[in-house]
Structure 1
Amino acid sequence: MKKFSYSLIVFLSCLFANAQDTISFYFESGKYELLAKEKLRLNEWIVANSTSKILAIHGFTDEVGTSASNDTLSKNRVHYIYNQINGKVAIRNDFKTISFGENFKRDQEQAKNRRASIFYLQEKDLAKENEILGIEIEKKEPIIIPDSLPFHEKIKLAQVGTKITLKNINFYQNTFQTTQDSQASLYDLLFVMQNNPNLKIQIQGHICCVDKDRRNLSLERAKQIRRFLQWKGIPQGRVSVTGFGTTQPIYPIPEANEEQAAANRRVEIEILSK
């Protein structure tokens, strides 16, 4: 956990006050552990917000005691709340705490000054999290990977999220068994996985020619590729699988010709990490 310089406090306080939800929990004077009633409130909030995300926790005190002791007390209140929620509610990676001590505009009712406040986003707002917080995400221009490049060169250029079609991966009709002419492509994939130990991928199966993948054949074909990699020593944790059936065709179904059907009937990998 980190402590801000005071120059950022006013900005963050205004941002948090207007951008998302806040809840406060109140302490007895001089204490940094909640009494039973307030701890029950906190536990109830944790259960109700298991899908929320915490952005910050601020700690406050009343005027009783020295400035130094109140600074320590406000920090301890923040740490107490943090320890109660840690592992139970998601927390931003850049999670911040601010311990105000006596450095804030006080409420006339002293009990309201003895608190720790949680600033958080509900699940419904997580999709616009960065927008709410005013964070601009640098957009990377997508890299165009020439289809003519060798497979290992495509991997070098690929970014996280890039999808690459495994060329010449074929299966016997209506099965997930690869044909003999698929071996070269399978070993190309194996070579890349062996020589890029940090590479994690998702194998994605697609089929053609029917309105629905009733036998889940696209997933089984993806699993068959993973089985080959595992058999050759690639850990399962580096390879996930999914089957899209006919939900992501390149050409409309029914296809106009075998060339279109072959394009729809494909196996792709998506780069998860490098």
Structure 2
Amino acid sequence: MKHLYTFLLLTVFTLTQAQQRHSVYFDLDIDKPNSSSVNEFDTWLQQNKNAVIIKVYGYTDSVGSVTYNKDLSLRRVNDIVNRLKQNNIAFAEDFEIKGFGEEFEQDNNNSENRRVEVYYELPVAEADIPKPEPKKTVFAQKVEKSKVGDKLRLENLNFYGGSAHFLPESIPVLEELLAIMKSHPNLKIEIQGHICCEKKVTHPVSSDRAKAVYSYLNNNGIAHSRISYKDYGATSPIYSIPERNEKERVTNRRVEIKIMAN
């Protein structure tokens, strides 16, 4: 998927940024565009107000001297440049003008030789760039694959010892759980609180920890009907009690969710 997105992005960028060209035609020995080209050019101006002009090249037929034709082609170029400026069309910093006169490969149809070529680019519109799908976290993927009755540990959702106050690293976990609940409107969970250090079936602290998560979700828009909480005390420790170190104690002071409906 990543490679496909990159390919699409590069394709859009390349196609949009590639130089495009608009041709303006002139009558014999005239440095103003003919009436049909004026109408077409005016339409182009209206449809390409955000164009950036890269270069404007002028050409003539082979009638007349080389010097005269070069001067004529430049006068044609200057006329078109002035029209662009009058319409507030932007120019690139390295914008270039050039009059070739008749010194190019002539077309058999002389009317095709009497022209000015406007080369331009159109900036990429942000809305036209395909947006990548948001990358799903490991936990979000586990939720999507879960079945009713499954229990999922909220990694790094931990508390200060003896309290229901979240450790700082818990905030992103809470925000992620909230986002998952909002993006899965049918998801219902039971929030299960656990403690460390004491072999007790229930405990006010584990109840308060589960309730703290419950309150966070409810205060941020998740309906009561989708969430509940329960105190499990020290009945399901990850590390045996008594724990050997603070890392094990922090891990046992945790909250898990049980999938009730999805």
TM-score range, shorter chain: 0.3 to 0.5
Structure with larger Rg = 2
Provide the TM-score with structure 1 as the length reference.
Answer: 0.44
Provide the TM-score with structure 2 as the length reference.
Answer: 0.46
